[in-house]
Structure 1
Amino acid sequence: MSQQERGEAAVRRLLDTGAPASVPPELHAEAVRRGARSLRRRTAVRRLLWLLLLAAAVAFAVWASTAQPWVEPPSRTTPPLTRW
């Protein structure tokens, strides 16, 4: 008998018994409490990251509007023409 056949036989035995495994009654409440806490934590982290992204976008927009990096700086290598 191969390892796979032994595994399948073990699963069939478990399914054939029909009686569900007994679960402690406090396990459900504990799982719900932990799941709710995990969900709240995940939501808070997601909101914090969105807030951080928004702050970075605003900071970039303010910097770009004051520094105007798209404007070419004036040339300092040649003197300006005064007489023509």
Structure 2
Amino acid sequence: MNRAEREAAVRRVMGERPVRVPPELYPDAVRRGERLLRRGRLARRTMWLLVGLAAVAFAVWAAYAHPWVEPPSQTTPPVDDW
């Protein structure tokens, strides 16, 4: 099926009357949609909580370790007074 045939098939399907959905499916669809929204909201809140905890952990580490300070020299200075 080439592109023109696919486009014609899509136009034919879209031009037909929409299929009637049984009314008893509506409450199930609403319940499922609400559950998906709740799960997404919970996932986003959990992600932001983890990001916040990581930022706090980094700040505490940085305050304790002082990574911006140059580390002390590992060699001793020369001794001149012997």
Superposition TM-score, scaled by structure 2 size: 0.74
For 1:24 and 1:5, how far apart are their aligned partners in 2? 29
Gaps of 5+ in 2: none
For 1:68 and 1:6, how far apart are their aligned partners in 2? 67
Deviations 1:9-64 (A, max 9, x none): 5654x24xxxx533211111111000000000000000000000000000000000
Superposition TM-score, scaled by structure 1 size: 0.73
- Local SS of the residue matching 1:77: coil
For 1:69 and 1:59, how far apart are their aligned partners in 2? 14
Note the aligned Cα RMSD (angstroms).
Answer: 2.7
Provide the aligned length of Structure 1 versus Structure 2: 77
Cα 1:4–1:36 change in 2 (3 A) is closer
1:76 paired residue number: 74
Cα 1:57–1:80 change in 2 (3 A) is farther
Q: Does 1:56 align with 2:58?
A: no
Note the C-alpha offset of 1:76.
Answer: 1.9
Match of 1:40 among 31, 38, 41: 38
Gaps of 5+ in 1: none
- Local SS of the residue matching 1:25: coil
For 1:47 and 1:10, how far apart are their aligned partners in 2? 41
Note the C-alpha offset of 1:73.
Answer: 1.1
